[in-house]
Amino acid sequence: MGGPGAGEGAARRLLQEAGALLEGHFQLSSGRHSPLYVEKFRLLERPPQTAALCRMIADWAGDLSPQLVAGPTTGGIIISYEVARLLGVRGIFAEILPGKDGRAFGRGFTIARGERTLVVDDVLTTGGSVRDVIEAVRAAGGEPVGVAVLVDRSAGKVDFGLPAGKAGLPFFACLALDLPAYEPGACPLCERGVALTVT
């Protein structure tokens, strides 16, 4: 598994410029509390910053020779499109479809057998959405060749392994964050009486 690129400082500045890297006291979707929060939609509403981060991904992915870029709904659609545009290939997305587990490609999207596919997303937390896209690519006959995200909230703890025990897929994050998260009963911010924002 690879790591973040040398442009982590630039990526952090881009997120801060967009108002997407927030400090305070936040209740995450998991129910845990954290002093930092990434509000991806503050970033995605700002094309210059989003495009600059997607350029980092495209520059990293060039050596993988992707023929296709795929992401999950919702934010992954924007990332897939922009990275694909920069690489000069198609960009598609996988979504939750009625009656199907995980995600699948609808809307007439196709993947050629063996088509080299870069899987992208905006913010990585547990990796569930990315794993769904990897499985959808494989189910459609494509070959996942790497994973890239704008922000890795897991600080490199999520692995995207290949079948049969092979090494994991190459991975890149514009910015890796090790965000502390506390159970509500053990949260130092709660103890200090810092106002809680529910995300």
- Count of Cβ atoms closer than 10 Å to residue 17 Cβ: 15
- Tens-binned pLDDT, residue by residue, of the chain (199 aa): 344 445 889 999 999 999 999 999 999 877 889 998 899 999 999 999 999 999 999 999 999 999 999 999 999 999 999 999 999 999 999 999 888 788 999 999 999 999 999 999 998 888 889 999 999 999 999 999 999 999 998 877 787 765 544 558 999 999 998 888 899 999 999 999 999 999 8
> What are the structure tokens assigned to 150, written together?
């704008």
Are residues 15 and 151 in contact, defined by beta-carbon separation less than 8 angstroms?
yes
Are residues 31 and 196 in contact, defined by beta-carbon separation less than 8 angstroms?
no
SS3 157: coil
Are residues 192 and 24 in contact, defined by beta-carbon separation less than 8 angstroms?
no
Break the chain into its structural domains and give their ranges: 8-198
> What are the structure tokens assigned to 62, written together?
């060039």
Query: So what's the pLDDT on residue 7?
Result: 80
CATH no., domain 8-198: 3.40.50.2020
Query: So what's the pLDDT on residue 1?
Result: 39
Query: Which is it for strands 33-38 and 21-27: parallel, antiparallel or unpaired?
Result: antiparallel
Tokens 């810092």 -> residue: 194
